[in-house]
């Protein structure tokens, strides 16, 4: 399927392709944040604890991160649209199972495992199809802008939508809502055509897939264990690092023998892409970490219910909307590097404003300015970071880089919830919430430093060859 803009087809063709892809990113981002405002309701209904719900959220994000790289590679073998539809079906089954779960175990199976697997299968095709279908630079920037905007809105509006549903009906209906959106996406996906035929005989690096998944799981488990046992923390982190080293040794060995590994080492020799991946990881870590910390603070310390918590998050949602949907216009005026740097600066300032105002005022309005600035910052840099990474490689490596890119982003989401949750569980006090936000601001500084070192030429309009 050719690029609708480049071939002169009407804009309705572009919309028909974009709608299901953007909705898919929306619902996956929504799933990662909407449970934050339902922590109290879910823990009471399922006879578990706040830490139990946090574990379910983290496992969901972790499964996505662990499986995103293998899933991205499988798109070449089985086809992008086929894997997209399979992911939607698995996700839908998980959402319905979560809706009727009698306890934490079934919730983890449905939400954390099945929805996590489904997301890992469907998200890489979203970005690969976008890159392959929208070959003209301006239309590709517009497409990525719409998709990332929906992703940012899903993450930022998840608390509001989840709070509305939980208060009006029940937290279980939030999963029914997800299943309904999935059904709509399946229906709309009939307009999508896979531009490349699948290659059933293409080899798949099973050992590499296992090693990469185990390494990532061990790293996040180590962070989750930080409040329980320091030695366990160090052991898990060391084990994860060793497994990932084993993975890279395995990849190099396969390349030397002429075989195709799970990931080509050439992906890590691109400075622009590497720095872009760091910014992606930091963005999603901060976004999901802030979402979890603020939601927990509002419910545990301030005693707000799901709908009240969700309404307060509206400030962040508005901020994300304003900058995300202006991504194409901003890209024409400023370098991607500049936009990413500005996004991190706004986010850091927003966290500072949030801490200053919330600590000095009991008013609910004290939350709005900081959250609004954080939303503005996150929305401003989501699309440029994706453009920088995806445009750094040609069509033959889109499966690999899309899987790696989404894995890095979802690993950031996992780490955001895990790090914030670990700090809070270690001491559920007002100071613990402030410390968690300060740590997230520090991570945003790391992202800013990475953005500073991005080359000035990292602009989509100058990377048309991709």
**Is residue 29 within 8 Å of residue 151, measured between CB atoms?**
yes
- Residue 335 DSSP one-character state: -
pLDDT for 135: 66
Structure tokens at 234: 């160090």
pLDDT in tens, the chain (466 residues): 444 444 434 356 666 778 888 888 888 878 767 777 777 788 888 888 777 877 787 788 778 777 877 887 788 788 888 889 999 999 999 999 999 998 888 999 998 899 989 988 888 888 788 877 776 656 666 777 777 777 777 776 777 788 788 888 888 998 999 999 999 999 988 878 777 777 777 788 888 888 888 887 887 777 666 555 667 768 888 898 899 899 889 988 888 888 888 777 777 777 888 888 889 889 888 988 888 888 778 877 777 766 777 778 778 878 887 887 676 677 667 777 888 899 999 999 999 999 888 877 777 788 889 999 998 898 888 778 877 887 777 656 655 676 677 667 767 776 776 677 767 766 555 577 888 888 899 999 999 999 888 887 544 443 333 3
- Residue 114 DSSP one-character state: I
CA dihedral (12, 17, 19, 20) positive or negative: positive
Q: Which of 82, 84, 98, 89 is nearest to 34 (CA)?
A: 98
Q: How many Å apart are CA 226 and CA 243, to the nearest integer?
A: 20
**Is residue 276 within 8 Å of residue 144, measured between CB atoms?**
no
**Is residue 77 within 8 Å of residue 199, measured between CB atoms?**
yes
Structure tokens at 386: 């994706």
Q: How many Å apart are CA 134 and CA 150, to the nearest integer?
A: 18
Structure tokens at 419: 């790090």
CA dihedral (302, 307, 309, 311) positive or negative: negative
Q: Which of 30, 88, 36, 38 is nearest to 58 (CA)?
A: 36
Return the CATH number of the domain spanning residue range 11-204+262-462.
Answer: 1.20.1250.20
pLDDT for 372: 92
**Is residue 179 within 8 Å of residue 30, measured between CB atoms?**
no
pLDDT for 456: 74
pLDDT for 12: 64
**Is residue 433 within 8 Å of residue 301, measured between CB atoms?**
yes
**Is residue 111 within 8 Å of residue 94, measured between CB atoms?**
yes
The 3-state DSSP class for residue 216 equals helix
Largest CA distance in the chain: 65
pLDDT for 224: 64
pLDDT for 9: 41
Half-sphere exposure of 45 (CA within 13 A, CB side): 16
**Is residue 210 within 8 Å of residue 136, measured between CB atoms?**
no
């Amino acid at each position: 399927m050719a690029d609708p803009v480049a071939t002169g087809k009407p804009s309705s063709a572009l919309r028909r392709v974009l709608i299901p892809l953007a909705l898919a990113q929306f619902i996956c981002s929504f799933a990662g944040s909407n449970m934050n405002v339902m922590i109290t309701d879910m823990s009471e209904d399922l006879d578990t604890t706040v830490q139990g719900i946090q574990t379910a959220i983290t496992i969901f994000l972790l499964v996505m991160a662990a499986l995103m790289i293998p899933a991205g590679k499988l798109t070449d073998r089985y086809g992008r649209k086929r894997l997209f539809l399979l992911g939607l079906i698995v996700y839908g089954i998980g959402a319905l199972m979560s809706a009727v779960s009698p306890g934490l175990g079934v919730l983890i199976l449905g939400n954390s495992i099945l929805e996590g697997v489904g997301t890992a299968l469907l998200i890489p095709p979203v970005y690969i199809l976008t890159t392959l279908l929208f070959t003209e630079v301006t239309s590709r920037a517009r497409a990525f802008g719409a998709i990332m905007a929906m992703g940012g809105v899903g993450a930022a509006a998840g608390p509001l939508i989840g709070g509305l549903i939980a208060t009006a009906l029940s937290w279980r209906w939030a999963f029914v809502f997800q299943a309904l959106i999935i059904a709509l996406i399946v229906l709309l996906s009939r307009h999508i055509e896979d531009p490349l035929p699948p290659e059933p005989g293409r080899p798949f690096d099973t050992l590499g897939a296992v090693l990469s998944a185990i390494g990532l799981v061990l790293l996040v488990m180590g962070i989750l264990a930080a409040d329980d046992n320091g030695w366990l923390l160090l052991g898990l982190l060391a084990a994860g690092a060793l497994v990932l080293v084993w993975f890279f040794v395995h990849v190099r060995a396969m390349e030397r023998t002429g075989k195709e590994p799970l990931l080509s080492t050439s992906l890590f020799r691109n400075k622009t892409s590497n720095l872009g991946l760091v910014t992606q990881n930091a963005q999603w870590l901060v976004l999901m970490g802030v979402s979890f910390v603020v939601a927990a603070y509002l419910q545990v310390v301030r005693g707000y219910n799901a709908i009240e918590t969700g309404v307060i998050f509206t400030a962040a949602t508005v901020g994300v909307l304003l900058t995300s949907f202006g991504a194409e216009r901003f890209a024409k005026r400023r370098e991607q590097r500049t936009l990413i740097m500005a996004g991190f600066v706004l986010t850091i300032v927003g966290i500072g404003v949030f801490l200053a105002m919330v600590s000095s005022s009991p008013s609910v309005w004290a939350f709005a300015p900081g959250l609004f600035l954080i939303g503005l910052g996150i929305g401003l840099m989501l699309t440029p970071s994706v453009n920088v990474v995806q445009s750094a490689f040609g069509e033959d490596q889109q499966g690999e880089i899309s899987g790696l890119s989404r894995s890095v982003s979802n690993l950031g989401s996992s780490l955001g919830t895990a790090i914030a949750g670990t700090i809070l569980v270690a001491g559920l006090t007002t100071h613990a919430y402030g410390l968690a936000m300060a740590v997230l601001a520090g991570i945003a500084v790391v992202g800013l430093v990475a953005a500073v070192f991005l080359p000035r030429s990292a602009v989509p309009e100058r990377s048309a060859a991709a």
